[in-house]
Structure 1
Amino acid sequence: RLKTVLNNTPKSLAPVGDKTFLYFLLKRWTSDNYNSITFLLHYEADQIKKYVNGLKKEAWLNGVDINYIEESTPLGTGGSIANAIKELKINDPFIVTNSDTWLFESFKGIEESHSNCIGLTKVDDATRFGSVGVQDGLITSFHEKSETALNKEKILINAGVYFLHPSAFFNNSKINFSIEKEVFPRLAFSKDLKPYFLNGSIIDIGIPEDYKRFCILYNQGNLQI
């Protein structure tokens, strides 16, 4: 994993040329006119806050409202979102995305579904990912990596971007829980989870090979924001 390369540097702050991976994510988000961004932090939170605060002087971040919610103990992918809903008193739907994944296609438009949805994309390498089942315009199932490893065809995978209503988290009494294992299956079972199809592939910089690939794209001038 990338930690063997970065030591104690968060993945989102992985250097890319004279910038960081997070720099390009912020550029993408702001170019898509997202002007309210909240970071849910635990591991090396101070590093990320210091870096982002240092970027606030950039003209392209003018008018962008940036907040941080720091967890004293890890709350899991679902627990951290539920905590943010409570802390920020969120009543409206919102977008969640990972800070270690690059999507080659913008997810601008995911909110137009108006329903709980997961961004999905197709990949060739089934050995690295679990797959997502879709039927009649709804997400119906989730399959672990071991179940898809022998699949020689392209599979649909979770691209790490979601449009969600706060009510998706109302029925979970746990503090620390996984959105992938405890929220999404429940929403799928109740037919309350739709797919949002992305045409481009993804880069997961948690994999050293993918991180190198992203750096090469940048160095060659082939990184489109």
Structure 2
Amino acid sequence: MSGLHAVILAGGKGVRLRPYTSRLPKPLVPIGDQFSILEIVLAQLAQQGFSSVTLAIGYLGHLIRAFVNDGSRWNMSVDYVTEDTPLGTMGPVRTMLDRLPEHFLVMNGDVLTDIDFADVLRHHRAQNAPLTVATYAREVVIDFGVLSTVDRRVVHFVEKPTINYRVSMGVYGLSRRTLEPYTLGMPFGFDDLVLDLLARSEPPGEYPFDGYWLDIGRPDDYDRANAEFDSVKGTLLKGA
């Protein structure tokens, strides 16, 4: 596969990451001493064969434009779509369908991972799913005894259970035909799309991943990313 295209969602205000995002859009927040999140992502996409990117920008979008420019620094072509009002995850993508190929990658602009983005898209095309979701295993330990009750009687008890589940990584394979039926210019989230596809018996596909992944959405995750960056830099930026 050559000439791959990615859509990077970079329009959010990054409220959970304040005060870091008070003057910088979240994708430009620095990781380590040298790179921003967006810089890492663009370098990875270029290394994996992506030749073009569309950036959906909003909050402090002029700073992203000034930093990325036309993408020539990464030997890619970069264009922009500006969100005047928040449209959710899939709403901005719906507005740009006329400039996208049939199959493309969509990702959040605050994802730090060593996933093979090109393979996600390759997998999406091969399985012919309407949407392919990259997923990651999470584990939550409940620090209490958990009770199930019926009519004020305990019917089941588990002491400090561990719950295992899979979460969306904020990385998707998507096809034009999937979004074409939805209303242009209306807020439309990832959750709206998944629930509608399930209701229509058109289930999304899964791309399970077990490598390195952080969603830089909270101060704790941001601090962890900076603490770990020197040890994972070589994996994230092969050859960069």
| 1:20/1:55 CA distance change after superposition, 3 Å | farther
Distance 1:54 1:193 in 2: 33
Aligned pair count?
196
In structure 1, runs of 5+ residues without a counterpart are 128-149
Partner of 1:132: none
Q: Give 1:210's aligned amino acid.
A: D
Structure 2 matches for 1:31-110, cutoff 5 A?
31-53=47-69, 56=72, 58=73, 61-62=74-75, 64-86=76-98, 88=99, 90-110=100-120
**Cα displacement (A) at 1:84:** 1.1
Distance 2:105 2:179 in 1: 14
- Residue deviations 1:118-146 (CA, integer Å, cap 9, x gap): 1111112489xxxxxxxxxxxxxxxxxxx
Contact 2:54/2:78, CA 8 A, preserved across alignment: yes
- Residue deviations 1:22-57 (CA, integer Å, cap 9, x gap): 11111111111111111011111100010112873x
Distance 2:175 2:88 in 1: 18
Larger Cα-atom Rg: 2
**Cα displacement (A) at 1:177:** 2.1
Runs of 4+ residues over 4 Å off in structure 1: none
In structure 2, runs of 5+ residues without a counterpart are 1-15, 143-159
Partner of 1:4: 19
SS of the residue corresponding to residue 9 of structure 1 reads coil
Distance 1:193 1:186 in 2: 10
Structure 2 matches for 1:104-123, cutoff 5 A?
104-113=114-123, 114=125, 115=129, 116-123=131-138
TM-score (norm 2): 0.74
Superposed CA RMSD in Å reads 2.2
Contact 2:111/2:170, CA 8 A, preserved across alignment: yes
| 1:177/1:32 CA distance change after superposition, 3 Å | same
Distance 1:49 1:125 in 2: 39
